[in-house]
Chains A and B, each alone.
Chain A
Amino acid sequence: MTLQLLVVSGALALVLGTLIAIARVSPVPILRRVAATYVTFFRNTPLLVLLLITYYGLPEIGIIWSFFTLVTLAMGTYTASFVAEALRSGVNSVSMGQAEAARAIGLPFTQTMTQVVLPQSFRAVVPPLASVFIALAKNTSLAAAFGVLEATFRMRGLLNDRPDERPLIFLGIALGYIVIVELISLGSQLLERRWKVER
């Protein structure tokens, strides 16, 4: 469940975050402003409050979706703002000559972005993106507060059942999270090595 949540909301965050990052550097001023507002709003709201809005709020205005969808929506939109910020710094790190060359051979903005700048910036931001996703993995535990049957939630049940073994259970589940976190950072290291830019 933790993993499912992680993968789906991670994918949502990646797509949405990329779109927002593009909008933030686009030539249309209004798009830039909208993207900046999005990032300000979602970065400064605690995830818990976002979850409150989607999980309690949306059903109140007649949008009744499953637990999973609502929680994923909150986590995806929240993480997207961090992805967008990371990507923007990546776009800034791509050397100027690349973008200038793309423009010089007549590529319009969309092609400059999708074919020249973005692929390179993704390479540059592998480590920060990995830490965003690590944070997301840990944030899945928040879903527990909203009744999604999930690793942390299980811990709560176990804790109440067996008071004597609490530290052990805590350690066990912590280990589970540590494994997920380590896997993500290992994966990012692998990607980093494979995509190493030769300059």
Chain B
Amino acid sequence: MTSVLFDAPGPRARRRHKIVGVLTVIAMLAVLAAICWKFWSEDQFTAQKWEPFVTPSIITLLLEGLWRTVQAAVLAVAFSVVFGVVFGVGKLSNHRWLRWPCWLVVEFFRAVPLLMLIIFLWVTYSPQLITSFMALVIGLTLYNGSVLAEVFRAGINAVPKGQAEAAYAIGMRKTQVMTIVLLPQAVKIMLPAIISQCVVALKDTSLGFVILAPGLTSAGRLIWGTFNNRLATALVLAAIYIVLNLALTWLATKAQQRLAGEQKISIVGGVVRADTGESSVPV
């Protein structure tokens, strides 16, 4: 790899880099060895700690948890996209009575910790009105929805002005301009931010743990309750989440590439400016 930050390494530099590399590898191996030794000396490698994860019933339990987690994530993402579009457009409205409440709602739910929101929903309404699963989905929707509202607003603002002007000039109404001209382009521009928000939503489903909502983390709780292998369970959960998120990111990049391919055509037509910029969206 070449970079502006350093020269192409000469013989001495290459030797130095090799030394640093070897030292790093040794350090990493030492850390790994220390971890293994710790595991060993505290009896973490015993079969009874890890065996559950190859037992069919436990695998089913984990899969069930995975299914509920994915379900919660998909529902939350779908609802929050709707929420985000409505409030994002609302924040851009010409009417003050519409703009202000939207602004207030978005700012409020963006600033409040998601966990608090979920606990509040659960404690206040739980057994009679909503299940813990619903509390989780509603909480996720409110939080991610308001973040997405900001994303959509930024995206709509990033669409070149001429687009809206042209649409008005050919006699479209405000709603038409928004839905036919501005929103589709805004979504395209903001796709990276939207995707990263999806990953956040998926990760945040783990919060269901606190309110006993069904999901991966709750399945984990069951497992270590039975087998008393917390560390092993937590590591397995982490691995599942990482694989899940990497898969999601990979899928999203694919989708983005396809959309970007479309965009390239329109650039040739001289219409769309592919200005994604740095998203200023909190993670």
Q: Which residues of A contact B (CB under 8 A)?
A: 25, 27-32, 34, 40-41, 43-50, 52-53, 56-58, 60-63, 82, 89, 91, 93, 96, 99-100, 103, 109, 112-113, 117, 127-128, 131-132, 134-135, 138-142, 144-145, 152, 155-156, 159-160, 166-167, 170, 173-174, 177-178, 181-182
| A26, B15: Cα distance in complex, Å | 15
Summed over the interface, the residue pairs from A and B with CB atoms below 8 Å come to a total of 175
Q: Is the CB of A56 within 8 A of B123?
A: no
Chain A min CB distance to B196 (Å): 10
Instruction: List, in ascending order, chain A residues with CB within 8 A of B13's CB.
Output: 27
- The interface residues of chain A lying within 8 Å CB-to-CB of B3 are 25, 27
Residue pair A34, B242 in contact (C-beta under 8 Å): no
Query: How many residues of B are counted as interface, with CB atoms below 8 angstroms from the partner's CB atoms?
Result: 58
Q: How far is the CA of A96 from the CA of B207 in the complex (A)?
A: 43
Q: Is B231 in contact with A56, judged by CB distance below 8 angstroms?
A: yes
Residues on A with C-beta less than 8 A from B7 are 103
User: In terms of DSSP, what is the predominant structure of the interface of chain A?
Assistant: helix
Question: What B residues does A109 contact at CB under 8 A?
Answer: 5-6
- Smallest CB-CB separation from B244: which chain A residue? A44
Q: How far is the CB of B115 from chain A (nearest CB, A)?
A: 5
Report the Cα distance A141→B116, complex, angstroms: 7
**Which of A40, A46, A52, A117 is close to B203, meaning CB atoms less than 8 Å apart?**
A46
B112 engages A131 (CB within 8 Å): no
* B42: chain A residues within 8 A (beta carbon): 60-62
Measured between C-beta atoms, what is the minimum distance from A98 to chain B in Å?
9
Q: Does B169 contact A (CB under 8 A)?
A: no
Task: Determine the distance from Cα of A159 to Cα of B121 in the docked complex, in whole angstroms.
Answer: 11
Q: CB within 8 Å of A: which of B205-230?
A: 205-207, 209-210, 217, 220, 224, 230
Cβ of A160: which chain B residues have Cβ within 8 Å of it? 123
The stretch of B153-161, B171-179, B275-283 in contact with A is: B275-283
Q: Which of B205, B231, B249 has the most CB of A within 10 A?
A: B231
